[in-house]
Amino acid sequence: MQTTIKTQLINQFTALFANANATRLFFAPGRVNLIGEHTDYNGGNVFPCALDIGTYALVRARTDKLCRFYSINFPQQGVIEFDLDNLEFNSQHNWSNYPKGVMTEFIKAGAALTHGFEIIFFGNIPNGAGLSSSASIEVLMGTILNSYFGCNFDPIKIALLGQAAENNYIGVGCGIMDQFASAMGQANHAILLDCNTLNYSYAPLNIAGYKLVIANTNKQRGLADSKYNERLAQCRQALAILQQKLAIKALGEINLAQLEQQANLFSDPLIYQRARHAVSENQRTLAAVAALKANDLIEFGKLMQASHVSLRDDYAVTGIELDSLVSAAWEQAGCIGARMTGAGFGGCTVNLVAEAQVADFIQQVAQKYQQRTGLSAEFYVVNPSAGAHEITNS
Ligand code: GLA
């Protein structure tokens, strides 16, 4: 933990809430998904890892039911105040609707929230860039509530309550991937998660000689405003069509050959393409994890590339910025895999780059991307890290 962040949080807390006595510090990470995109809400597999960047909170319990929340990232919003007896969604409460949604879901799950809090939040993850800034604040709030109120929920339950907040309170029909990765991450490992059963296993990210490089298009996108819910609806439509012939509950249950056999059921080619992405991406994810386990990073990279092509052509969630950033990466020596990551429609790409060529990669890709789009990309070299936790020393 960077002491500068802790100092910043303490200084801000002291300035707003008189002193920082009896405070506790918590952290929940963002995530990057290596492969398995738009498969989670289709009951398929995903392969994300938690990052070493995310959201921090310096917390103090109050004796009454008032909550006073402040984010260093949104100073213009000031201190947002609400009462635990009135947790209704309030658009004026802006970003703090995320923690409020989690509080609401904890109450629904039987937790007794007997007192409010003073909290300073700070995220060192870019907002709205597809690295799960919202899941990290949800899992962070869940981890805080679980600890203060002795709920004894395990991290998977905390992830599920975070997802429920996003689905029911914020109104985005997201799957479980982001909250799961934020709650369950492990250093140097990615998580293979079957979103149908929630069975999971950790895979060591043995990429010696290579680095994970995230590139941010710096094209802002709001998940809630985006076409995310539309894709979800299209996949549900595809599933309903297939259910006329197949006894399945999710697209993740079939393979590409099984889908192709039913192609004539689809009168709208667009709906078929959406299903083809969900099904083929699920297969690619399992193949990629097998390649990683066999130390075949070149194959892993090829599958990342195929994933991007499918997200571009069948799922239509990329756009000029992501496509330009990914194609510039593909052209670059030392880059063995590159694809968009997260929901799409802007946000970030994830790249597997030979360690010795990272500096060159960043310089060249930045230049080409600038030429093609007029935008400046940002780059982060990241390491898979632990899930949400309280920071007790340093
Ligand atoms: C967002 C959602 C996730 C997942 C990805 C796409 O990050 O929150 O649940 O659907 O998009 O893979």
Q: Check pocket membership of 232 for ligand 1, CB cut-off 6 A.
A: no
Contact 186, 171 (CB under 8 A): no
Query: From CA 280, how far away is CA 263, in angstroms rounded?
Result: 14
The CATH number of the domain covering residues in 2-204+385-391: 3.30.230.10
pLDDT of residue 3: 77
Q: How far, in Å, is the centroid of ligand 1 from the Cα of 175?
A: 6
Task: Tell the residue nearest (CA) to atom 8 of ligand 1.
Answer: 174
Predicted pLDDT at 1: 56
The full 3-state SS of 248-289, as one line of letters, equals: CCCHHHCCHHHHHHCHHHCCCHHHHHHHHHHHHHHHHHHHHH
Closest atom of ligand 1 to 36 CA is 12
User: Can you give the pTM of this predicted structure?
Assistant: 0.96
| Structure-token pair, residue 294 | 């066999």
Token pair, residue 186, equals 């492990």
Nearest protein CA to atom 9 of ligand 1, as residue: 175
C-alpha distances in Å from residue 244, one per residue of 237, 239, 248? 11, 9, 10
Ligand 1 touching residue 32 (CB < 6 A): no
Which atom of ligand 1 lies closest to the CA of 228? 11
Whether residue 177 has its Cβ less than 6 Å from ligand 1: yes
Asked whether 342 lines ligand 1 (CB < 6 A), one says: yes
CA 115/CA 92 separation, integer angstroms: 23
| Distance between Cα 349 and ligand 1 center (Å) | 14
Is residue 329 a contact partner of residue 365, using CB atoms and an 8 Å limit? yes
Ligand 1 pocket test: pick from 38, 51, 136 the residue with the most ligand atoms within 8 Å of its Cβ. Answer: 38
33 CA from centroid of ligand 1 (Å): 9
Q: Are 158 and 388 in contact (CB under 8 A)?
A: yes
Which ligand 1 atom minimizes the distance to the CA of 176? 9
> Is the CA virtual torsion 364, 365, 371, 375 positive or negative?
negative
Residue to mutate (ligand 1; options 39, 177, 274; most atoms within 8 A of CB): 177
93 CA distance to ligand 1 middle (Å): 24
CA–CA dist 98, 64 (Å, integer):
21
What DSSP designation does 6 have?
A: H
pLDDT digits (tens, 9 = 90+) for 169-216: 998 889 999 999 999 999 999 999 999 999 999 999 999 999 999 999
* Tokens at 213, concatenated: 């490089």
**Separation of CA 223 and ligand 1 centre (Å):** 9
The atom of ligand 1 lying closest to the CA of 175 is: 9
Give the amino acid at 291. Answer: A
One-character DSSP codes across 308-371: HHHHHHTS----HHHHHHHHHHHTSTTEEEEEEESS-SSSEEEEEEEGGGHHHHHHHHHHHHHH
Among all residues, which ones are annotated catalytic?
Answer: 178
Residue listed under structure tokens 């969630």:
317
Coil/strand/helix, residue 300: helix
Tens digit of pLDDT at every position of the chain (394 positions): 567 999 999 999 999 999 999 999 999 999 999 999 999 999 999 999 999 999 999 999 999 999 999 999 999 999 999 999 999 999 999 999 999 999 999 999 999 999 999 999 999 998 878 899 999 999 999 999 999 999 999 999 999 999 999 999 998 889 999 999 999 999 999 999 999 999 999 999 999 999 999 999 999 765 545 789 999 999 999 999 999 999 999 999 999 999 999 999 999 999 999 999 999 999 999 999 999 999 999 999 999 999 999 999 999 999 999 999 999 999 999 999 999 999 999 999 999 999 999 999 999 999 999 999 999 999 999 999 999 999 997 5
- Say whether 186 sits in a helix, a strand or coil: coil
Q: Is the CB of 178 under 6 A from ligand 1?
A: yes
Distance CA 102, CA 51 (A): 22
Q: Count each helix (H run) and each strand (E run) in the chain, helices first.
A: 11, 13
Residue 127's CB is within 10 A of a number of other CB atoms, namely: 15
Contact predicate 356/29, CB 8 Å: no
Is 346 in contact with 375 (CB distance < 8 Å)? no
Q: How far is the CA of 122 from the centre of ligand 1 (A)?
A: 22
